[in-house]
A and B are shown apart, each in its own frame.
Chain A
């Protein structure tokens, strides 16, 4: 293989697009919290752009993509401190299909490692101590994200088994959703939840964040083709179509059940669709992305009831949108995967006449992802809780994270 300038150009652009999603996510979440916690939320997301990036190149990239293709659970230390990661091609056999600089592949994957743990902050809003967040973030990247990325993206055992995940339905979204659930169970509810109303303080901010996420997702999914080719073209249209259809699905169910189609519903539905199409983006075609989006929008809306049923305070619905959305997409891929869209599909989906093999693989990969992420995350969070404590004091929570954690206020009078 040789370096390809077209492919390199597209992945360069995609890297910037995916990076832009994290400040987009910050605004998406920031608008939904109360005004005294908005900087706390923005800071947690932006801070991930600092810490995750450095940790990724120093260590986690190697754990995810070192010894790729070993059908195992984790990589090795070959690329620690960016050793052998530079502007040329990699000589690693599993990644020999790459026609882009190895340093660019590392950078593109870095942007995924940044946003994945940032997704968790929606569940823990308004009460997670900043110091505990930093420790959780660092340990989680190394012990949870890197192994899962290896198992799925790095030719580890889940990929070897035959499970498909185009851009991170399992690695990013189910993983973050399960981790969010684990942390929230230890952290407890926001003070006053659910009796005190905690409405979003700035929905225009949330809608702006949705737009940035939607835009950036073009790089997330179509960039995951790692080439400027037909699969990338299919992926970008699938991504946008799924978001659109999911918005319609969410709003339709919301209107029928609640009487109103809401702005927050439109934003949430679009994000649910983007999540659900993530594992499928380069593997499905035709109208399949619209069906996947519609189902995801409706199912994720209904999944909002899970936290009420089980009595946990997943503040901004990370479980309903990311865990459930990722699961819906991963399972529907078992129905819609299409070899005529992407030659990497060896087992086609059930609806394409491929039988149930892929669906079974998707179920196994989903269960493994959820269980591994949940268990590992709850252990990490528990250790942090008994050592430095996960939660801010009651006084600090009353005061708000902005002032208590960062000595700032967002809106001076």
Chain B
């Protein structure tokens, strides 16, 4: 099993969610986060004073997937989150040792 983690632009969240549901994903976890990458931050101006804001708001989407589905889901997220402009975000995949569904006690693939 794998954990797919995607950092995407907040306004792309609905597209990513719809695409993942379309691809058969049964659940996901979403967190509002802040950070910077190559996009870096931006400048805000209040009453003539400039503020450099380093951390840009993003959304982190986490999806657990079976090994066989990972490549397809990564492609789905990539396609849904892409605008082609700087700051589209990143996706990474990490290994997961064990998954338990709390209600039933099912484990691993049965728990997804």
A, B assembled together:
yes
Binary A-proximity of B67-101 (CB < 8 A = 1, otherwise 0): 00000000000000000000000000000000000
**Is B48's CB under 8 angstroms from A304's CB?**
yes
Q: How many residues of chain B get a CB closer than 8 Å to chain A's CBs? A: 9
- What is the CB-to-nearest-CB distance from A28 to chain B, in angstroms, rounded to a whole number? 13
How many residue-residue contacts, CB under 8 A, span A and B?
A: 27
Overall SS of chain B's interface: strand
Binary A-proximity of B26-63 (CB < 8 A = 1, otherwise 0): 00000000000000000011111101110000000000
Chain B residue, CB-CB nearest to A264: B46
- What is the CB-to-nearest-CB distance from A215 to chain B, in angstroms, rounded to a whole number? 23
When distances are taken between beta carbons in the complex, the residues of chain A under 8 Å from B49 are 304
**Is B45's CB under 8 angstroms from A197's CB?**
no
* Cα distance, A265 to B47, chains bound together (Å): 6
When distances are taken between beta carbons in the complex, the residues of chain A under 8 Å from B47 are 262, 264-265, 268, 304, 317
* Cα distance, A197 to B54, chains bound together (Å): 11
**Is A200's CB under 8 angstroms from B48's CB?**
no
When distances are taken between beta carbons in the complex, the residues of chain B under 8 Å from A50 are none
Determine whether A258 belongs to the interface, using a CB cutoff of 8 Å to chain B.
yes
Chain B residue, CB-CB nearest to A260: B45
**Is B48's CB under 8 angstroms from A199's CB?**
no
Determine whether A254 belongs to the interface, using a CB cutoff of 8 Å to chain B.
yes
**A92-132: which have CB < 8 Å to B?**
none
What are 27 A-B pairs at a CB distance below 8 A? Answer: A197-B51, A197-B52, A197-B53, A199-B44, A199-B46, A199-B51, A199-B53, A200-B46, A254-B48, A257-B48, A258-B45, A258-B48, A259-B45, A260-B45, A262-B45, A262-B46, A262-B47, A264-B46, A264-B47, A265-B47, A268-B47, A301-B48, A304-B47, A304-B48, A304-B49, A305-B48, A317-B47
